[in-house]
Structure 1
């Protein structure tokens, strides 16, 4: 039976949910206060990867002489670069709009506020004030950057990731607050585009929470790129000194001033629920700001669903899209639930890093007997031909069952290679399943096969001491 559904938010969770709802025969209204596609398409995943690709191309041009290819000195036209990036964003967001229209989804612009458990008032948009009623309501409002004390992001002197993706010039010296994946992705990108980069990270190392063996490769790369990484460091304040910005930071217990041209704050994101009037719907966020949901993405009010960043960690676009598909199925009467064994994480640093499943530390904490096998890209012919030999593929398996528990990669194009590992874990594959599968040669995925062989000390293209 067709339902009338209101989806609040048109990011990767919301628009995917809306389209699937329409495909399943429901009447769908999408409320969006900003651009279709949400943070990911407009000021996150897509524009950052476009600029990162540009930085990588510039870096390859600088090193092409090794292959016997020479260019003139590469130059960056920032205006054209940002225009190119914006064109990609425009095509994708326009595509989302077209898909919603073609599937019969109505889009209402403005801020949504609950006025009751089944009613939402939309105001402030071009459509004027509109009251919507839904048999079901899906909250997909996403997340926003966190501001730390003393560093409110004005997108002028202090950028958030949003400002960092729309530069008018390449800063001479960029200070990045936060050594997580957003900070390192953008910091390394700006380094390749010509900036001197200093990263301030509160924890003892880069990329806290990630597989340490992989992180060590990234930390070595930071040194090669001459990016200064200050750990156990807390940014305290900033001030203007002529045309420069001076950042005051506590570095390992001692105060230090760092003069730079631009500050980029990337200390994380928080779920966005301000102004939603959740209390009018009988809802409240937990102590971490998330809406708690069950395996079918229902909140404690059964006809209201929450998906994406607002529904909890991990705050990743692909996890939100999956939740959107599940919520749409459940609303449509199908017996579905969010039942996934793993969610891949991809980090577009230099080299790239990707992980899925348990880390070695997590396996140890669970008290599991395990084995590991690694294969270095330095032994990969394909990696050599790309001049990208840093890194490896590491597989962690259950010592008793041979089942794959986790796969962690750092190296060329591993953000693409992780899909095989994700499917393997989701299907309950064993290390032997991967090792016995023929992988095309010469390709980067051969490293996955060889790492599987290495778990049992049988890798062919590296020597393993018996």
Structure 2
């Protein structure tokens, strides 16, 4: 077994891990990344990126089905599932290769294998379950991410009951599909399969779909999904899955205890994630784990000196961009950079790439009221925007929430075409602690979807011009 010495070793190369390593190298630290599977982690290989490639196919197919309304005649369009999946995997592979190039460019050492803590400043690397080398580091960042949560009696088998991994490489378009869970992952897969021909049913244990979003946005999303043909059961659990050779019979239980059954060709489980804390050598350390997630302070420090944790491993929000930013903050603090500020999760936008898209930043109206704020709330519908009508996308809403006393923007919530791109405008506004006056005085270009952001702010103060 050889010995290597580094200033920083990162275990895991997802959007948190590889970004942390690159930033460390930029700051003059000798850095290494240990990765047991794919550079880029789950997000790049089995999450954010390949799902967006699939959803792009769904969007194009949906547009083709409505092409005649734009003066274009298309006959007998169909989806080639194998080609769709192949493109998705090619996109993921291209970007994984890009991460490899970035690490090489920045002179970050990449070590193939499974890393685990092996005493103070030591990381043991194993391949195929056997230790092959030990590396030393002044600082160690744990960035091992998370995996799909499973529930008793609803365990995935990879054939009839899928997690996100099987759903990304389907061998068939299920005639009837059950999606358990209506968070971002569940709704994105529901949207994809519904668009390409599956009859989709979504079951959500909470009293509304997309439960972390503002209630107005959830309601509009449900209305749109039902219009597209989805069946949605809220305040309902799946109590059992009974498998036959080629189908699954699900037992539903609603909030009143009433049960019912339905049979599906495939089931996708999207009931949350759990942190990858196993086999990391945490035993005997001062690292604390709470419900599969490692506890850290505002600079990602664990209870063990010089050991840090970032990304999905540390809890919500479970977002790639949150992990990347945490990695940068963590490394800059390690390197002694000045003016390193803790991450304010209230300023992190969240995006769901279903059709219609959903995006938000900050507090929901309900949360702001519970926090005791007196509110000014503005809303502007897509139907009042010229660009949205020209695009043939008149369905949607932009909602903004302000502190009535100070003008601070507390939250912004959107549903409609391209809102995942628009939301960053409000993200910048929140980071700059912008008030309603600065937003009102900002000139938004015409004709753009972004004009609705301006109008929503104006509406909060009774000044909307176009609705």
TM-score, normalised with respect to structure 1: 0.96
**Secondary structure of the equivalent of 1:5?**
strand
Matched, 1:67 2:70: yes
Q: Superposition RMSD on alpha carbons, in Å?
A: 1.6
The counterpart of 1:190, out of the listed 172, 190, 193, is 193
Match of 1:35 in 2: 38
Q: Give the structure 2 partner of residue 423 of structure 1.
A: 428
Q: 2:386 aligns with which of 381, 385, 388?
A: 381
Q: Distance in 1 between matches of 2:262 and 2:87?
A: 33
Cα distance in structure 2, aligned partners of 1:16 and 1:268 = 24
Aligned to 1:271: 275
Shift of 1:125: 5.3
Aligned residue for 1:407, secondary structure, equals: strand
What residue is the counterpart of 1:296 in the other structure? 299
1:402 aligns with 2:407: yes
Q: Tell me how far apart the structure 2 counterparts of residues 346 and 412 of structure 1 sit (CA, whole Å).
A: 12
Counterpart CA distance in 2 for 1:71 and 1:160 is 35
Name the SS of the counterpart of 1:270 in structure 2.
Answer: strand
SS at match of 2:410: strand
Q: What is the DSSP-based 3-state SS (H/G/I as helix, E as strand, rest coil) of the residue aligned with 1:134?
A: strand
Distance in 2 (alpha carbons) for counterparts of 1:446 and 1:72: 36
1:442 paired to 2:464: no
Specify the alignment match of 1:77 in structure 2: 80
- Aligned equivalent of 1:254: 258
- Does the residue aligned with 1:444 lie in a helix, a strand or coil? coil
**Aligned partners of 2:145 and 2:276 also within 8 Å:** yes
1:216 aligns with 2:219: yes
Distance (whole Å) between structure 1 residues aligned to residue 254 and residue 457 of structure 2: 42
Tell me: CA distance 1:425–1:230, structure 2 relative to 1, closer, same or farther (3 Å). Answer: same
Offset of 1:435 from its aligned partner?
Answer: 1.6
Could you say if the C-alpha distance between residues 6 and 125 of structure 1 is closer, same or farther in structure 2, counting changes exceeding 3 Å? farther
TM-score normalised by length of structure 2: 0.96
Greater shift, 246-255 or 43-52, is seen at: 246-255
Q: Do the aligned residues in 2 keep the contact of 1:114 with 1:280 (CA within 8 Å)?
A: no
Equivalent position of 2:325 in the other structure = 322
Q: Distance in 2 between matches of 1:430 and 1:304?
A: 39
Which of the residues 104, 129, 142 maps onto 2:132?
A: 129
Contact 1:12 1:40 (8 Å CA) reproduced: yes
Is the deviation greater in 406-415 or in 201-210?
201-210
1:391, CA displacement in angstroms?
1.4
| Shift of residue 273, structure 1, vs aligned partner | 0.7
| 3-state SS, counterpart of residue 249 of structure 2 | strand
The correspondence for 2:123, drawn from 117, 120, 125, is 120
Pick aligned residue for 1:103 from 103, 106, 122: 106
Alignment partners' CA distance in 1, 2:407 and 2:218: 26
| CA displacement at 1:247 relative to structure 2 | 1.7
**Distance change (3 Å), C-alpha of 1:36 and 1:126:** farther
Query: Which whole-Å CA distance do the structure 2 matches of 1:451 and 1:247 have between them?
Result: 43
Q: In 2, distance between residues paired with 1:121 and 1:242?
A: 44
SS at match of 2:359: strand
What is the CA-CA distance between 1:231 and the residue it aligns to?
1.5
Partners of 1:126 and 1:82 lie apart in 2 by 31
Name the SS of the counterpart of 2:280 in structure 1: coil
Structure 1 residue 21: Cα displacement: 0.4
1:238 equivalent in alignment to 2:251: no
Q: Which moved more, 1:275-284 or 1:409-418?
A: 275-284
* Structure 1 runs, 4 residues or longer, greater than 3 Å off: 125-128
Deviations 1:302-350 (A, max 9, x none): 3111110112211111000000001110111113242425111111122
Q: Please give the secondary structure, in 2, of the residue aligned with 1:234.
A: strand
Residues 52-107 of structure 1, C-alpha deviation per residue, up to 9 Å, x if partnerless? 11101101110111122110121111111111111111111000011111111111
Show structure 2 runs of 5+ residues with no match.
none
Structure 1 Cα separation of the partners of residues 98 and 225 of structure 2: 37
Deviations 1:395-454 (A, max 9, x none): 111111212111111111000000000000110111121121111111000000111111
- Pairwise CA distance, 1:132: 1.1
**Shift in Å, 1:282:** 3.2
